């Protein structure tokens, strides 16, 4: 059964670790992440961007696939199905389709409009026991068509949004979607500490988890980060393993072109990344 992310994130804040949010794109991605989480007894959040939702034939298809997989793979760890960077309309659609957690990304609105819309989404989601993530500031770079300015969050605005009763807060602290450029200035721990001071035990979400050095991740967790989003790193691992398989001509040997064989190395690549992240985040054996 899918669960809201509320309880798992409160436990993460109390236990000083973070739950991994891994984006899914299809059956292989979902299966790889769920099996790795189960094998490592870790809670997990499956992230679905609006683009990936469309790719997977709509949110209802995604909910049906994930809930069936939980049953048929005997997944017993806590799993939240979470809309990633949802628009106002997208949030309502995913809620309707049975997602157990929703991110409403109103960071591109002015703060008053972000507050109004977030408030409405919180009321709708909480009436169904669904958790809500809101965003202040902006994550730099681009993810699935969502382009962010990289604006560092204003801690006072974070407090205003946190006070709306959301369950987790995404704040722009210099984090970027996709690979980090060589001249990246790093995370603003000063901003994170100020936000933490104002929002108390509110779980803070770190987007752009790909490529952030381990020491920075650990410091961010010590300052209240309880959910870390990873997407690009799984895509790179999948592409790399698939390329090696094809370049070695393995798709041409025997029945190597069978999609169940062709997609297997990439799926293993995703599993390795998910396990590595769970170790760094400290979520192993926390289910």
What residues are designated binding site? Answer: 85, 105, 135, 177-178, 207-210, 229-232
Examine residue 207 and tell whether it contacts Zn ion (CB under 5 A).
yes
Question: Residues touching ligand G3H: how many (CB under 6 A)?
Answer: 16
Q: Which of 78, 178, 203, 266 binds ligand G3H (CB under 6 A)?
A: 178
User: Annotated binding residues for Zn(2+), as ranges?
Assistant: 85, 105, 135, 177, 207
In the complex, least distance from residue 175 CB atom to ligand G3H, rounded to whole angstroms: 8
Q: Quick one: 2 or 273, whose CB is closer to ligand G3H?
A: 273
Question: End-to-end distance of the chain based on CA atoms, in angstroms?
Answer: 14
Examine residue 177 and tell whether it contacts ligand G3H (CB under 6 A).
yes
* C-alpha to C-alpha distance for 142 and 124, rounded to whole angstroms: 28
* C-alpha to C-alpha distance for 20 and 42, rounded to whole angstroms: 9
Region binding ligand G3H by CB under 6 A among candidate stretches 117-125, 157-165, 228-236, 256-264: 228-236
Please list every residue from 29 through 68 that binds ligand G3H, using CB under 6 A.
47
Q: Quick one: 150 or 256, whose CB is closer to Zn ion?
A: 150
For residue 41, the 8-state DSSP code is T
178 binds, among ligand G3H, Zn ion, none (CB under 5 to 8 A by kind): ligand G3H
In the complex, least distance from residue 180 CB atom to ligand G3H, rounded to whole angstroms: 8
Q: Work out whether strand 141-143 and strand 44-49 pair parallel, antiparallel, or are unpaired.
A: unpaired
Q: Which of 102, 121, 138, 230 binds ligand G3H (CB under 6 A)?
A: 230
Extract the tokens encoding 231: 């997407």
Annotation says 201 is catalytic: no
Phi, psi of 232 (to 5 degrees): -55, -40
Catalytic residue among 84, 163, 201, 258: 84
For residue 57, the 8-state DSSP code is T
Examine residue 231 and tell whether it contacts ligand G3H (CB under 6 A).
yes
Residue 189: Cβ within 10 Å count:
16
271 binds, among Zn ion, ligand G3H, none (CB under 5 to 8 A by kind): none
230 binds, among ligand G3H, Zn ion, none (CB under 5 to 8 A by kind): ligand G3H
Task: Draw the binding track, 222-241, toward Zn ion (x: CB under 5 A; -: no contact).
Answer: -------x------------
Number of H helices, E strands in the chain: 12, 10
Q: Is 86 helix (H, G, I), strand (E, B) or coil?
A: strand
Examine residue 232 and tell whether it contacts ligand G3H (CB under 6 A).
yes
* C-alpha to C-alpha distance for 187 and 220, rounded to whole angstroms: 9
Q: Is 130 helix (H, G, I), strand (E, B) or coil?
A: coil
In the complex, least distance from residue 47 CB atom to ligand G3H, rounded to whole angstroms: 6
Q: Work out whether strand 141-143 and strand 146-148 pair parallel, antiparallel, or are unpaired.
A: antiparallel
The secondary structure of 164-225 as a DSSP string is TT-SEEEE-SS-BSSSPPTT-----HHHHHHHHHHHTTPPEEE---TT--HHHHHHHHHTTE
What residue ranges bind ligand G3H (CB under 6 A)? 23, 47, 84-85, 143, 177-178, 207-210, 229-233
Show which residues are catalytic. Answer: 84
What residue ranges bind Zn ion (CB under 5 A)? 207, 229
């Amino acid at each position: 059964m899918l669960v809201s992310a509320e309880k798992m994130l409160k436990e993460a804040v109390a236990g000083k670790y973070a739950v991994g949010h891994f984006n899914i794109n299809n059956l292989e991605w979902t299966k790889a992440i769920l099996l790795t989480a189960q094998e490592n007894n870790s809670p997990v959040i499956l992230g679905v961007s609006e683009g990936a939702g469309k790719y997977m034939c709509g949110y209802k298809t995604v909910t049906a696939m994930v809930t069936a997989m939980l049953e048929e793979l005997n997944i017993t760890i806590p799993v939240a199905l979470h809309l990633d960077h949802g628009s106002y309309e997208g949030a309502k659609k995913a809620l309707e389709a049975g997602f157990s957690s929703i991110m409403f990304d109103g960071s591109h609105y002015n703060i008053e409009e972000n507050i109004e819309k977030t408030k409405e989404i919180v009321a709708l989601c909480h009436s169904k026991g669904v958790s809500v993530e809101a965003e202040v500031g902006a994550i730099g770079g681009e993810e699935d068509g969502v382009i962010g300015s990289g604006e560092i969050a204003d801690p006072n605005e974070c407090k205003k949004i946190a006070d709306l009763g959301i369950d987790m807060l995404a704040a722009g602290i210099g984090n970027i979607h996709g690979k980090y450029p060589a001249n990246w200035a790093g995370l603003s721990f000063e901003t994170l500490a100020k936000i933490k001071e104002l929002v108390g035990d509110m779980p803070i979400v770190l987007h752009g988890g790909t490529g952030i050095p381990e020491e920075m991740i650990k410091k961010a967790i010590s300052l209240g980060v309880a959910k870390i989003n990873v997407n690009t790193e799984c895509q790179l691992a999948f592409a790399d393993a698939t390329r090696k398989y094809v370049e070695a001509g393995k798709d041409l040997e025997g029945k190597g072109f069978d999609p169940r064989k062709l997609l297997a190395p990439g799926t293993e690549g995703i599993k390795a990344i998910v396990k590595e992240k769970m170790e760094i985040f400290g979520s192993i054996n926390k289910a």
